[in-house]
Structure 1
Amino acid sequence: MTDASDPVLPTPPGGVFDGTLHLYAVRVYYEDTDLSGIVYHANYLRWFERARSDVLRMLGIDQRAEIEAGARGEKGGAYAVADVQLRYIRPARLDDDIVIHTRCSELKAASVRMSQEAKRDGETICTAHFRVGFVGFDGRPRRQPDAWREAFKKVLDTDGEPE
């Protein structure tokens, strides 16, 4: 128990890197499910997005600063999903604990490919393959900042899919 004048505040959820593999935990809440009690298909996209955003944050990629630079009229940009392929294998249900596995599999000047899996108790229940492009605020592809590309190189894994 703590003194009321010094409250303990929770921190937002975050992932961890295990080598080049990023792990991000989510729990299935009632709001995530449809009328049948199964996770609504679009929520997997939300979980995958959160995990990818956490990868960027943990790599020191400050998306917000880049967006704010663009708002000030400076040369800025943002990541946008250019391609996604999903495969639903098994349903997730209320109160399931899910771990999102993310690997960066390809790095190019203006894009990065990421493979993701949603796993429950080690069993893959959904897979996703993303190509995320870096675009200027005019909507056109542009080269990612060099520091960001260097950060991605630290976790680039060209050996295959998430485990």
Structure 2
Amino acid sequence: MPRPAEGCLDGQVHRFAVRAYFEDTDLSGVVYHANYLRWFERARSDLLRVLGIDQRAVHEAGEGAYAVSDLTIRYAAPARLDDHVLIETHAEDIGAASCRLLQKAFRVEPDGAPVLLSEMRVRVGFVGRDGRPRRQPAPWRAAFASFLASAPETP
């Protein structure tokens, strides 16, 4: 039985592959700009799963969830129908209630060469049911701290 797409930790980076489908494109055949946000979100959700963070259990227990508080995105080149796109995520900072991540989307050429499509810096905060910031659960901070410790320095 096929399994859903899964990413992996590869040393200093989390990698998650997606495919550009017809539904992702606009009338010109180029991937619509907002779909990069969806791809980045999937990659972040997968990163949490790979780190052993059970978002669903914490959310269902009423303890809270992550919410995007800030993001900056830059587009460098277009993705097109049927492109193989690789999302890479690096941790930049971990705080008591938030994390800053750098995410990049690359088109993977047939020869394996990556072409930068987009990059985004995002800050996610852990919030309670009331929408106010809360400390992330200690095991989550530890998981992110471990990921951050192996992350490359950013310029």
TM-score by length of 1: 0.89
Distance 2:139 2:64 in 1: 14
Q: How far is 1:160 from its partner?
A: 1.6
* Structure-2 residue corresponding to 1:60: 52
Which of the pair has more CA radius of gyration? 1
Find the counterpart in structure 1 of residue 103 from structure 2: 116
Shift of 1:20: 2.2
1:160 corresponds in structure 2 to 154
Question: Within the alignment, does 1:146 sit opposite 2:133 as a pair?
Answer: no
Distance 2:127 2:40 in 1: 20
Uncovered stretches (5+) of structure 1, i.e. residues with no partner: 1-8, 71-75
Aligned length: 148
User: SS of the counterpart of 2:23?
Assistant: helix
Structure 2 match to 1:47: 39
Q: Contact 1:106–1:158 at 8 Å: present in 2 too?
A: no
Answering whether residue 73 of structure 2 is matched by residue 86 of structure 1, we say yes
Do the aligned residues in 1 keep the contact of 2:12 with 2:152 (CA within 8 Å)? no
Where has structure 1 moved over 4 Å in runs of 4 or more? none
Matching residue of 1:127:
119
What is the RMSD computed on CA atoms of the aligned residues? 0.9
Between the aligned partners of 2:104 and 2:68, the Cα distance in structure 1 is: 17
Determine if contact 1:52/1:102 at 8 Å carries over to the other structure: yes
CA distance in 2, matches of 1:140, 1:93: 39
Q: Partners in 2 of 1:80 and 1:103 — Cα distance? A: 18
TM-score in terms of structure 2 length: 0.93
What SS is found at the alignment partner of 1:117?
A: strand
Aligned to 1:115, what secondary structure does the other structure show?
A: strand
Aligned partner of 1:103 among 86, 90, 106: 90
Partners of 1:40 and 1:62 in 2: how far apart? Answer: 31
Task: Indicate the percent of aligned positions where both proteins have the same amino acid.
Answer: 59
